[in-house]
Homo-oligomer: A and B are copies of this chain.
Amino acid sequence: MNTFDFLKPLIRKTDSKIVLFVCDGLGGLPKNGKTELETANTPNMDELASRSELGQLVPVIPGITPGSGPGHLGLFGYDPVEYQIGRGVLSALGVEFAIQPGDLGVRMNFATLDAGGNIADRRAGRIPTEENVRILEKLRQIQMPGIEIHLLTEKEYRAVLVLRCSGLSSDLTDRDPQVTGVPPNVIKPNSSAAEKSAALLNAFAEKATEILKDEPKANTILMRGYAVYEPLPTFDEIYGLNAAAIASYPMYRGLGKLVGMSTFAVDGSIAEEIDQLEKIWDDHNFFFVHFKYTDSTGEDGDFDAKVKRTEEADCVVPRILDLHPDVLAITGDHSTPSNMMSHSWHPIPILVHSKHGRHKAVSGFGETECSMGTFGTIQSKELMPLLLAHADKLNKFGA
């Protein structure tokens, strides 16, 4: 039985409030015996740990390293293996494009063709973002009857193309051959349902290459990461929650929007995110607060910077507690060990604080304590029913 169908009749709508504080990439590997989280001076989390349940989240299945999309979908209770959001849609969300059901999102790279029509550089010499904006403007002259075309700058050589019309499909081969010295591929449909989409994208690529032929670097486009946007069941529909997402990076607001959260952009520090949390406290009963820098410092391979960023996250914990949430969960969407300079598969430490906690004395909030914690080790997708239970939002199952 589908978990959402199983949960639905058990949902109890209440005003109790849940805060899911996601420190992106929380969880690391030891250096001199201690991880970033264990090295950081985190008096607030450490004190809270002995009054909370500690445990671990496996983001997907053991051994699988997720991107931000599956990492967060798991936390939100959506099986990331079942609910796969394609790159094209994630990229559109990441630039805050208002994507609609049925839209086809495509990841687009500017690239360089040599005189013979072969790809010389798949990234067009990593042109600066301003160039991307200028060149994309030229492509806006492309028109195709009955089709809405949206062109969105991401960063440097990366852009997003969104087509809007009926009958689009992502079941297509890539225009990007992933190697240089060959011409771009002609996009082919993998099924008859994708013939229209293939024709549209090939026509677009041809026109774009014609328009860009005098550009020194970005004289063609490559395409891959096709995804048709299919709306997910929302937090309200599944959990009866009126949820808010607070994040400084658009991608994470986009992920919140994907599951029906109201989104709040904050341009700045975690302290400002908590300002926002305080402001909207009365209006929602679930709050996803996203802190980016524990991940980005890990990806930079900067152990000490990740430690510092973890301490920043710790500083705001008392302000969250002052709001008296019924449940406060502190965790990550995946681990990002700074000595790996990348996301990883390692279980993510989690702390769940509520009045129904089964706790024990621990030395603090860290990977080792979490591996032996009373919350146990579960998959990320199993978290939401537990948060609902701790918030008294689930009725008993069966007599």
**Chain A residues within 8 Å of B, Cβ to Cβ:** 1, 3, 6, 10, 29-30, 33, 35, 56, 60-70, 80-82, 84-85, 87, 90-91, 225, 337, 340, 342-347, 356-361, 367-368, 371-374, 376-378, 382-389, 394-399
Contacts and interface: CB of A to CB of B under 8 A. Distances in A.
Contact of A1 (B68, B81, B225, B359): B81
Contact of A63 (B345, B347, B368, B385): B385
Given A62-B382, A67-B398, A399-B68, A389 B345 contact: yes
Given A10-B64, A62-B382, A360-B371, 15 more contacts: A3-B61, A29-B356, A63-B394, A64-B389, A64-B397, A65-B396, A67-B399, A69-B399, A70-B397, A70-B398, A85-B398, A340-B356, A345-B386, A346-B356, A346-B358
Contacts of A358: 29-30, 35, 346, 367, 371
B6 A81 contact: yes
A263 to B, nearest CB: 19
Contacts of A357: 29
A398 B371 CA distance: 26
A374 B371 contact: yes
A389 B345 CA distance: 7
A56 B376 contact: yes
Copies of the polypeptide in the assembly: 2
B63 A386 contact: yes
A399 B73 CA distance: 12
B359 A30 contact: yes
Nearest to A81: B1
A14 to B, nearest CB: 15
Contacts of A372: 371-372
A151 B298 CA distance: 62
Given A70-B398, A367-B374, A374-B368, A389 B29 contact: no
12 contacts: A1-B81, A61-B385, A62-B382, A62-B383, A63-B387, A64-B397, A66-B396, A66-B397, A66-B398, A67-B399, A345-B386, A346-B356
A58 to B, nearest CB: 8
A225 B80 CA distance: 35
A36 to B, nearest CB: 12
A69 B35 CA distance: 39
